[in-house]
């Protein structure tokens, strides 16, 4: 008998008393009663608490904001689906920093990614109550690796992507897509259970919220 069959038989045998399946009481909050302004305020508060840098920027000023954030950077990587307008400010600036586009046709190697100063992505949705930004591998977010290896992650978020509670985000996400949920820069609590920021993931997280 295969291990699979064996284990299945053991389980069935263990459940010989046919335990009842309880109805799951879902009385926890599944929708938000906050206004958009309150959600924005809460998200900013949470992100700052995690030591992320937060910038509220009118949508039209996205290119200028990005150019400002990247002043002094030599090179960045962006996913192929990132809105071109966002990086237009950089190109107008004489092509500095160098912009590497990661696409299905041209994938950057790990070493190339390790050499860039920052990655710029969009996001799928954000949860204000927990300060979480979710990436689901959409064309404007790219492969998981590109938002991981560079030491700085600049993440753009539209204000209408902000929900208050986790169940609202779960409803918007598709399970089968590869996802990364990000709540602040990488951190650890492994030494005396005190949280310190900056381990293996990007040590700087800049969140630009387009209002």
Partner 1 sequence: MSSNTFLGMPSLPVFGHGNLNATEAFPKAAHRELGNEQLRANLGHATHTIRDKRLKVVAELPDWEDMRNAGAAIKDATMANLPALLEQFEENFTARGGIIHWARDAQEANEIVTALIRETGETEVVKVKSMATQEIGLNEYLEEQGIAAYETDLAELIVQLDHDKPSHILVPAIHKNRSQVRDIFLREMPVVDPLLTDEPAKLAEAARRHLRKKFLSAKVAVSGANFGLADTGTLTVVESEGNGRMCLTLPETLITVMGIEKLLPTWEDLEVFMQLLPRSSTGERMNPYTSLWTGVTPGDGPQNVHLVMLDNGRTAALADEMGRTALNCIRCSACMNVCPVYERTGGHAYGSTYPGPIGAILSPLLTGIKSEENNSLPYASSLCGACFDACPVKINIPEILVHLRGEDVDSKRAKVKVPTQMDLMMKGAEWAFSGGAKLNLLERGLPLGKLAAGRDKVIKKLPGIAGGWTQSRDIPAPPSQSFRQWWAKEHKPGAAVVPGNTAEDAGNGSEGEQP
Q: Does 33 bind partner 1 (CB under 8 A)?
A: no
- Cα 187 from Cα 184, distance rounded (Å): 8
Kindly identify the residues of this chain, within the stretch 146-205, that bind partner 1 according to CB under 8 A: 148-149, 166-167, 169-171, 175-202
Residue of 26, 72, 95, 106 interacting with partner 1 (CB under 8 A): 26
Kindly identify the residues of this chain, within the stretch 85-114, that bind partner 1 according to CB under 8 A: 104, 107, 110-111, 114
**b/e map 101-128, b = 16+ CB within 10 Å:** bbeeeeebeeeebeebbbbbbbbbbbbb
Instruction: List, in order, residues 6 or more apart from 112 with CB less than 8 Å away.
Output: 77, 100
Q: Does 38 bind partner 1 (CB under 8 A)?
A: no
Kindly identify the residues of this chain, within the stretch 53-92, that bind partner 1 according to CB under 8 A: none
Residue of 34, 48, 101, 145 interacting with partner 1 (CB under 8 A): 145
Q: Please confirm whether the linkage preceding 97 is cis (ω < 30° from 0).
A: yes
Closest approach of partner 1 to the CB of residue 193, in Å: 5
- Cα 72 from Cα 178, distance rounded (Å): 32
User: Binding-site residue total for partner 1 (CB under 8 A)?
Assistant: 80
Strand 98-102 to 75-79 pairing: parallel
- Cα 39 from Cα 33, distance rounded (Å): 10
Stretch that binds partner 1, among 32-40, 86-94, 122-130, 156-164 (CB under 8 A): 122-130
Closest approach of partner 1 to the CB of residue 53, in Å: 15
In the complex with partner 1, the residue whose CB is nearer, 61 or 197, is 197
């Amino acid at each position: 008998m295969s291990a699979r069959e064996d284990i299945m038989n053991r389980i069935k045998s263990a459940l010989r008393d046919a335990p009842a399946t309880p109805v799951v009481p879902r009385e926890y909050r599944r929708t938000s009663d906050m206004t958009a302004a309150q959600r924005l305020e809460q998200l900013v508060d949470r992100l700052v608490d995690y030591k992320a840098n937060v910038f509220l920027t009118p949508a039209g000023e996205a290119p200028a904001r990005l150019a400002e954030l990247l002043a002094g950077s030599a090179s960045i990587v962006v996913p192929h689906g990132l809105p071109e307008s966002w990086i237009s400010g950089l190109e107008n600036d004489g092509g500095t920093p160098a912009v590497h586009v990661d696409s299905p046709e041209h994938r950057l190697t790990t070493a190339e990614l390790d050499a860039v100063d920052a990655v710029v992505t969009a996001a799928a949705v954000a949860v204000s109550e927990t300060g979480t930004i979710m990436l689901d591998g959409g064309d404007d977010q790219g492969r998981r690796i590109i938002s991981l290896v560079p030491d700085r992650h600049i993440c753009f978020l539209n204000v209408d992507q902000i929900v208050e509670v986790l169940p609202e985000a779960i409803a918007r996400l598709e399970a089968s897509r590869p996802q990364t949920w990000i709540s602040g820069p990488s951190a650890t609590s492994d030494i005396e259970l005190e949280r310190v920021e900056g381990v293996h993931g990007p040590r700087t997280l800049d969140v630009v919220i387009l209002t």
